[in-house]
Chain A
Amino acid sequence: MALAMAPRMRCLYIFNRNGMCLHYHVWLRSLMTLSPQQDQKLMFGMLFSLNSFTAKIDPVSSGKENNPPCSFYSFRTNTYKLHFMETASGIKIILLTDPRIGDLREALMHIYSNIYVEYVVKNPLYSPGQPFRCELFNMALDHYVKTLQ
């Protein structure tokens, strides 16, 4: 899979459970239809609706609700692929990439536990629920993302 030199990652969003965008990181984005705030709100709203859509249309759920409801983890269009992960605390990590890329669920898990938790949550100067700007987080993220391409 040694593809082109062009980066396959487009951008990353991190939201908390209230819909606040904690971080927006962009690598290569040639088009932004809406303003950043509107784009983030729309992204959060769309994911919220997609989650309820997935739970409703799930063909194999038993009525019992013993297992957690089915949730989606990725969707693909002709120009991009969106990867989604939600943690138990309501932190949502969204990664937009080239459409040809494979399954990135483990990568998202790694970004959460080894980069976000390590450099942001464990940072004593960070107040939860606020957007953050952390150099070490950015560096670690860029470094990790390079290994994925």
Chain B
Amino acid sequence: MDPPLFFSRAMASIYNLFIINKSGGLIYYKDYGSTAKLDTNDSLRLASLWHSMHAISKQLSPTPGCTGIELLQATAFDLHCFQSLTETKFFVVAESGAIGIEALLKTIYELYTDYVLKNPFYEVEMPIRCELFDLHLARLILRDKSVLV
């Protein structure tokens, strides 16, 4: 059922990655080359803001069954968001028109379940400090970047 790993190759690069827990707290943030260098406070603030916007968008839905924003398109970038069944949200800021980002987010979710959730020392909903997760994530993202060079 899961897409094979090679299908997750994004055709364009992502600028950064945020992972927020179900209460809206930031548990992981990684920057991959955005000019807006966000310090810790900024990233925390933006993560909470996104969590609230995501929740409000459900209330404004004209049809029932809304699960929140999946794609936000702006003039300079696209923001893709994936929400797991446990309401953990993974969102990335990518180039406008990037394809394959949904598959990338699913692969990041797989890495999260394998290297974070299955880690017996990791407390759920706490900031992620798992070396293997960082390692595999870096390998996934930077491998995609090197394809474009």
Binding site for B on A (CB under 8 A): 10-11, 28-34, 39, 42-43, 45-46, 49-50, 53-54, 56-62, 70-80, 82, 96
Contact = CB atoms under 8 A, between A and B. Distances in A.
Nearest to B77: A59
Given A50-B53, A71-B74, A31 B64 contact: yes
B69 interface: yes
Main secondary structure of the interface of A (DSSP, over half): mixed
A43 B57 CA distance: 9
Given A70-B77, A73-B73, A75-B71, A10 B63 contact: yes
Contact of A61 (B56, B60, B68, B76): B76
* SS class, residues of chain B in contact with chain A: mixed
B137 to A, nearest CB: 18
B52 interface: yes
B28 interface: no
A69 to B, nearest CB: 9
10 contacts: A32-B62, A34-B59, A46-B60, A50-B53, A53-B53, A54-B74, A57-B77, A61-B36, A75-B69, A79-B63
Contacts of A75: 57, 69, 71-73
A8 to B, nearest CB: 12
Contact of B49 (A53, A80, A96): A53
B75 A73 contact: yes
A57 B62 contact: no
Given A32-B62, A61-B35, 13 more contacts: A29-B63, A39-B60, A46-B53, A49-B53, A50-B72, A56-B42, A56-B46, A59-B35, A74-B72, A78-B65, A78-B67, A79-B63, A79-B65
Contacts of B60: 33, 39, 42-43, 46, 82, 96
B73 A31 contact: no
